[in-house]
Amino acid sequence: MTDIGVEPYREITFDADGDADPAERTALTGVDATDLVLFAHGWNNTPSTARGMYRAFFAAFPPLVAGSPGVRLAYGGVTWPSIRFTDETIPDFPHAAAPAAGPGLDAATVSALKGFFPGQDAALDTIASYLREQPDSEAAFTDFGRLTRQLVTASGSAGRAGSGGDLALEDGPGAVPALLTDSALELCQRFTSALAETGMDVRPGPSGPSFSIGGSLKHLWDGAKEVLRQTTYYEMKHRAGTVGQRGLGPLIGQLALSRPDLRVHLVGHSQGARLVAFALKGLPRGARNLKSVTLLEGAFSHYVFAERLPDGLTGAGALSDAQNGLDGPVVSCYSHFDTALGVIYPLASALSGDYASALPGQDGRWWAIGHDGIQAVSPCTTLTLAEALRDGVPDSGCVSVDAAAVVKSGGPPSGAHSDICHPELARVVLAAGRIVTT
C-alpha cells in the first residue's frame, strides 16, 4: 500500500477514456471511514509526482480533525494521464529534473510528451529540435505550428464537439481557440509578449507587425514554447472533462450504492479542478453521497456554472446548474497572483478572431475560475479567506473564496498557480464538507 503520510489512503487510476482500475475501485469501496477526501492532481507527469503533491496537501488534515467526535477521515488520490513541463514551479516541492534554460525542452519533458501523445514521436522530435536550434525563419515557425496542431488533431480533441468545453460557444461548429487556427508566427509573438507580462525574462523584441529586429525572429521562440505548452493543455482539458464525467462521476454513484454511509468530498487543482467539476455532470441522479467540491486554482472558465453567458456570448456554461446535483457547496478558491490563469490562460482560451487586442488578460470573458472565482451565477457567495476561516462557507450553492492571502508564491510564467499546500486551504475543504466546523 502506498505511504503518503496519512491513513487510510487509497488511489484510483483512470485512463484517458475514464476507465478505472477495478482492483483500486474495490479497495476504495472497503475503506473504513465516515468521510473520504478525494484529490485530483493537475499537471503531473508521473504518479510519484502526483503523490508528492498529495503528501504535501494532506499533511495538514490529521491535526485539524483530531478530536472531532465521530469523524474517521480517509484520503484518496485520483491519478489520470496529464503532463507538466519541468519549468513550471511548485513552491517548496522537489523537482526530479532541472528545468531547461530558455525555450528548449529538457529530456524529461520530451519523454513525457511522447507518452502523452502516443505515435507522435517524430513530430515531437522535430518540435524539440526547432525549440533547441531556434531557426531564424518564418517557414520554421509555420512548420512548428503545423506540428503542434497535429498533436491535437491526431488525438481527436479538435473535433470532439461537446466533450467538455467550458462554454457552449466552444462546442459550436468551427468554434475552436485561436491557438489552433491563427498564424503560428503571430501566436508566438503574442505569447512572447504575454510571458513578459508574467515577469518572465524573455529576450526583447518589437511588438509591431514585422515581429523582428534587423530581420531576426529568434526571440519569438520563447513564445513558441508557450504555444506548445498551451496546445498540450488544450488536450488535457478534454481528458479532464472526460475522466470526470465518464469516470469519477459514475464511480461516486457506485459508492452511493455500495457505501451509502460514506460521505465523499472532491478536491481538484488546476486541470484536476476541471476533472472534479465535470464529475458533477456524470453523477447519477439521486446520488446524495457527494457532500462538497473544492476547486483550487481551477484552469477552466469562470462562466462554467452560468445559466446564461454574459458579455455578448451566447448559450450557457457547460456545467450550468450542476452545483445543484450535490448535497453541499461548490467552492472555488482563486488568486490574482496566479499568472498562469490571469495572463496566459485568457490568451490560449479566446476563440479565433475574438481575442482581445489589448494586453493579455484584459478581456475578462476568457478568465479562469481560479483567477477571479465563479462568475455569472446568482446567488454566489464571495468571501475572503479570513471570512471563510472565521465563519465557514454556505452549505449549498456556489461559493468563491479569495485565497490570495496564502496563494501568492511562485516564479514566472505560472506564478502562484501551484502554491496550494497550505493548512488554510485544508480548513476550507473541511468547512465545505461540514467535516469540522469553524
Q: Rounded mean pLDDT of 9-37?
A: 95
- Is residue 275 exposed (0-12), middle (13-18) or buried (19+ Cβ within 10 Å)? buried
Do 370 and 335 contact (CB within 8 A), yes or no? yes
Quote the pLDDT of residue 314.
80
Quote the pLDDT of residue 215.
57
**Cell match 465516515: residue?**
34
Q: Rounded mean pLDDT of 97-121?
A: 81
pTM exceeding the 0.85 threshold for the entire prediction: yes
**Cell match 464537439: residue?**
161
Per-residue model confidence as pLDDT tens digits over 277-318: 999 999 999 999 999 999 999 999 999 999 998 877 788 899
Quote the pLDDT of residue 361.
56
| Strand ordering across the sheet containing 380-384 | 9-13, 73-79, 35-40, 263-269, 290-296, 329-334, 397-402, 380-384
In this structure, what C-alpha cell is assigned to residue 51? 503523490
Per-residue model confidence as pLDDT tens digits over 165-184: 454 344 444 456 778 888 99
Quote the pLDDT of residue 158.
56
The SS3 of residue 268 is: strand
Q: What is the distance between the alpha carbons of residues 317 and 365, in angstroms, rounded to a whole number?
A: 12
